[in-house]
Each structure stands twice: as structure tokens, then as C-alpha cells.
Amino acid sequence: MRAAAVLRAVIFDIDGTLAETERAGHLPAFNQAFRDHDLPYRWSTAEYGRLLRTTGGRDRLRRYLLARGHTEVEALADSLHRAKTEHFLRWLHGPRAGLRPGADELVSGLRAAGVRLAVATCGSRVWVDPFLDRFFPGSFDVVVAGDDVRRRKPDPEPYRTALDRLALEPAGALAVEDSVTGLEAARGAGLRCLVVTSAYTRLQRFPTASAVLPGYLAMDQFDDPDRPYLKAGVTADALARLHADPLAA
């Protein structure tokens, strides 16, 4: 039986978890970068959902270009990804970028409860830092971006790095993710993980998650008798109880 551990930190994923960035932000930025380079490629919403199996936008581009027979792939992937990131930053600073409902309240509640906050994302630091500065200024103690690791999710390195920088054992923290890839990375690092499904991951299966919810807000139709404390939504208290729940994975 797991000792009731104290929740000392929560490690959040970004894309799909704190904000719905993929379909609205990253995807149009990739397609604009193809246009900038006079390339005929345009990723559809469905195709991009499949391409998300490769974490890290530059690697996503590299694999796509290799599969289409390009030769100067490294230089072209670099140039495309630089252009894409410029377009994404413009979106990020614009009026259409925003957080998932309830994410801001949860982060504020965790800080008020003295729980430390970290990020473990495959996204590039060049936009991750401005994202956090805009939406969560001064809130996150540790930020692990795709640039900081050699192996991206589903490898556990991003979460292991966050735990190292927090100086915490896995039992002292909880991960919040939106995808199977992220869940596998968190579980591989020995973390319990709450999954809040996103537009691209609604139909995925999360057998090793401590709980799977469609979002952070209270749900009328919530019917998990083992976790009644989640019915009122994902609050700091609910996360602490999920973290200590002896029945949770």
C-alpha cells in the first residue's frame, strides 16, 4: 500500500494541457512556414494529428521531409522550424491564444497552497518562456523544454529532469498531461499522472493514468464513485487527494 505522500510539486505539460495550442497555433505556423519556403505541403488537421506522434516540431519536420525524399534535410528542417516558430510566436502574442478553462485557477490555487510548479514540455524554449511569462508570470519554479533534453517524450527524460531540478523524488510530485505520449513519459519517471484530454487526444486510451477528465472544470455527468473529490473540478485540494489516493494508479 502506497504511503500517503505529500504533494510538493505539480509538473504540467503545455501543448494540449495548459493550452490548446496544436490545432490553433502550431499547425497554421507549420503551414505558413511551408508557404514561406515555396513548398507545396499543407498539413490538414487530421494529418497533423498523426504527425504529433513525433514530439518536437523540428524532428516532426525532419521525418516528414525524409519520407518525401528531400536530401538537404537538416538545413531545410532548421530553416522551416525557425520560420514556423516566428509564426507561432506571433500567434502566441495575439488575441486568439489562451488557456484551457480552469487552468489559470488551478495554477493559482496550487501556488496559494504552497505547491511548487514545474513544466515538462517537448516544445521549444524560445516560445515556452514567453508563453509562461504571458499567462503565468513568476509562477513556475522549474521549466524543462525540448531543448533541455536529449530524448523527448515518450521517453521519461523530460520528467526526470524536472524532478532533478525540483530535488524531489517521484512520490512527491504529480504530472498533468493530455496525451498517451506524455502519460508514458510521466509514468516512466515514476510519477502519478492526471490526464485532461484535448482535441487531439479525446479518443486515446490512458490505462495507467490516475484519473482521466475532459478538462479542469466541474462536470455534471462526472460519475467516478472512487474519486468523488474530482466532481467539483480539478482544484489544488482535488489534486492533493488524487496524489494520496490509495486506489489511484
Contacts to ligand XBP by CB under 6 A: 13-16, 22, 26, 55-57, 121-124, 146, 153, 182
Residue nearest to Mg ion (CB): 16
Rank residues 7 and 149 by Cβ distance to ligand XBP and give the closer one: 149
**Residue 102: how many CB atoms within 10 A of its CB?**
17
Which residues are catalytic, by number?
Answer: 13, 15
User: CB 121 → Mg ion: shortest distance, Å?
Assistant: 7
Rank residues 161 and 179 by Cβ distance to Mg ion and give the closer one: 179
Query: Does the protein bind Mg ion through residue 178 (CB under 5 A)?
Result: yes
Q: Which does 157 bind (CB under 5 to 8 A by kind): ligand XBP, Mg ion, none?
A: none
User: CB 165 → ligand XBP: shortest distance, Å?
Assistant: 16
Rank residues 65 and 191 by Cβ distance to Mg ion and give the closer one: 191
User: Which residues inside 13-42 make contact with Mg ion, applying CB under 5 A?
Assistant: 13, 15-16
Rank residues 146 and 170 by Cβ distance to Mg ion and give the closer one: 146
Are 215 and 18 within 8 A, CB to CB?
no
Binding site for Mg ion (CB under 5 A): 13, 15-16, 178-179
